[in-house]
Structure 1
Amino acid sequence: MPLTPAILDWPAQPLRDRVVVITGGAQGVGRGIAQSVLGAGGSVMIADLDADAGKACLTEWALPERAAFQRADVASERSVQALMKATLKRFGRMDGLVNNAGIASAHGTPLAEMPLAEWQRRLSSLHGAFLCSKHALPALREHAGAIVNIASTRAWQSEPDSEAYAAAKGGLVAFTHALAVSEGPAVRVNSISPGWITTDAWQAPSRRRTPKLSRRDQAQHPVGRVGQPPDIGALAVFLLSDLAGFITGQDHIVDGGMTRKMIYAE
């Protein structure tokens, strides 16, 4: 009798009973990812340098059983170790890690004038991904976990005076496929490269404001609008879940089609 492929149920909450650590998770894209994980049934440990933003998240979410905050500096190994220890103490397990923390501004000092200290500081997202992955891997291996690194379309295209940012984000893409090969099949590793994501409404309450976007800003995207944090959160949830069980070592561009659009000065 021939085998008949079954129609499988689509999980309504694909991260139910999963625990995800999200660095830079109290604001911006990180908060968007955290709220998407919560909406998908998961629990989150958000890590951020901004304690006020972190506490505001917990107050506004009002989900004490599924959300916790730890102030952390991903460039400090001691701080990262404390973050992972706090996560396991609070939730008892770890199923996912989102390496999102880093300097938001792409533009720095012109390279010929840039001090080495600034260069190193602007690579913090790459250093943080290394340290957080290093100390999360033992727990992730126990539950066939997943890592999602937040890179950028600036890993693929550039503007002037963005060398350090591009190096950090390009390094994250390469780090992603190298770690995926090293850790497979126990842990899957993917990256997301966001394009223009407006985060004005996703900051701490004192800095929150309505985005000021022109029609031109919106229209230059093939999808007709600028991106928002939940656009990244939706893909992060998928990559963290079993639905993406055959996907690892890949970079996923989420930019409303901008990197596929030819732009010529007329």
Structure 2
Amino acid sequence: MADKLIVLVTGANQGIGLYAAQQFAATGKHHVFVGSRDLAKGEKAVATLVAEGVDKESLEAVQLDVTSDESIEAAAKIVLEKYGRLDILANNAGISSAPGTKRAELQQIYDTNVFGAVIATDAFLPLLRKSTLPGGKRIVFVSSSLGSLTFASDLKGQFPGKLFLQYRSSKTALNMVLVSYASMLDDEEGFVVSGLCPGYCTTNLTNYDGYKDPRDGAKVILMAAEGEKKDVHCKVVHEGGAYPW
């Protein structure tokens, strides 16, 4: 794998993450870890992609639950022992709702969408620092236009701030996380840290109520991961450019 970029996509057994894994692998330039909370589902996802024509040697499943420090550490150890480095980390795992009281729902959403992304990034950062290939040292956070304070403040807009408090506030927090890492790593060894909004896709996250094909949403992950630094670093991008904070 010396000539391929090693990529890890969290929450990649379904939805946008699955298609991002497919599209990374299809380039022939990437070897992709399909992160999945349930390893069996990750292995099934790999088998599905291989059956659809993706090179079997370009994909492998890894158990990764972003709400478990032990799971994250174990996944990082696997990547270290197999390849000694990671080139691209795509923090994709996320949920939009959870059962229980409002406090319980907020705790679960933030645990996955925010805390999990931070702990995973910290765990894989030593491996990302070992990347030497062009196109490496990339960290991507899957955010949302709903996290934009500018959009939320537009009371006559499509999605005013009164809607989706639990989910959208987690994405606002995630935007600060990406800015923090972008600032911390900006001058260190050529890191590029970016966020992205894949759009309102028809996935489990949206209860299959989106208007956009998740394959198209996945393309934005690759765009953020492969774009020029000036276009994507310390920004939340979408197909048309950067969104306001």
What range is the shorter-chain TM-score in? Answer: 0.7 to 0.9
1:93 and 1:142 map into 2 onto residues whose CA distance is: 5
TM-score normalised by the chain length of structure 1: 0.72
Q: Residue 194 and residue 233 in structure 1: after superposition, are their counterparts in 2 closer, same or farther (change >3 A)?
A: closer
Which has the higher relative contact order, 1 or 2, with Cα contacts under 8 A spaced 6 or more apart?
1
How far is 1:104 from its partner? 3.6
The offset of 1:108, in angstroms, is 7.1
Residue aligning to 1:91: 83
Q: State the structure with more CA Rg.
A: 1
- Helix, strand or coil for the counterpart of 2:57? coil
Contact 1:49 1:72 in 2 (8 A): yes
Within a 5 Å distance, the mapping from 1:88-237 to structure 2 comes to: 88-105=80-97, 114-115=102-103, 117-123=104-110, 124-143=112-131, 144-156=136-148, 157=152, 158=159, 160=162, 162-185=164-187, 186=189, 187-199=191-203, 226-237=211-222
Gap regions ≥5 residues in structure 2: 153-158
| 1:136 Cα deviation after fit | 1.0
**Gap regions ≥5 residues in structure 1:** 1-15, 201-210, 218-225, 261-266
Report the CA distance between 1:99 and its aligned residue.
0.5
> Could you tell me whether the CA contact under 8 Å between 1:22 and 1:47 is conserved in 2?
yes
Counterpart AA for 1:248: H
How far the C-alpha of 1:52 sits from its partner, in A, is 3.6
The aligned residue for residue 155 of structure 2 is none
Mapped partners of 2:138, 2:198: distance in 1: 19
What is the root-mean-square deviation of aligned Cα atoms in Å? 2.7
Quick one: distance in 1 between partners of 2:198 and 2:224?
14
Tell me the secondary structure at the aligned position of residue 65 of structure 1.
helix
Q: Distance in 2 between matches of 1:118 and 1:60?
A: 32
> Are 2:29 and 1:25 aligned?
no
Deviation at 1:57, TM superposition (A): 1.7
> Contact 2:193 / 2:233 at 8 angstroms: preserved in 1?
yes
Distance 2:221 2:137 in 1: 13
- Distance 1:244-1:232 versus aligned 2 partners, 3 A rule: farther
Q: Give TM-score, length-normalised by structure 2.
A: 0.77
Q: CA deviation at 1:173?
A: 1.2
Superposition map of 1:31-50 within 5 A = 31-41=18-28, 42-50=30-38
Which letter does structure 2 place at the counterpart of 1:55? E
Secondary structure of 1:190's partner? strand
Q: Any residues of structure 2 matched to 1:47-66 within 5 Å, and which?
A: 47-62=35-50, 63-66=55-58
Cα displacement (A) at 1:254: 4.7
Give the CA deviation at 1:161. 5.9
What amino acid is the match of 1:232? G
Which residue does 1:205 correspond to in 2? none
Give the deviation of 1:236 after TM superposition. Answer: 2.0
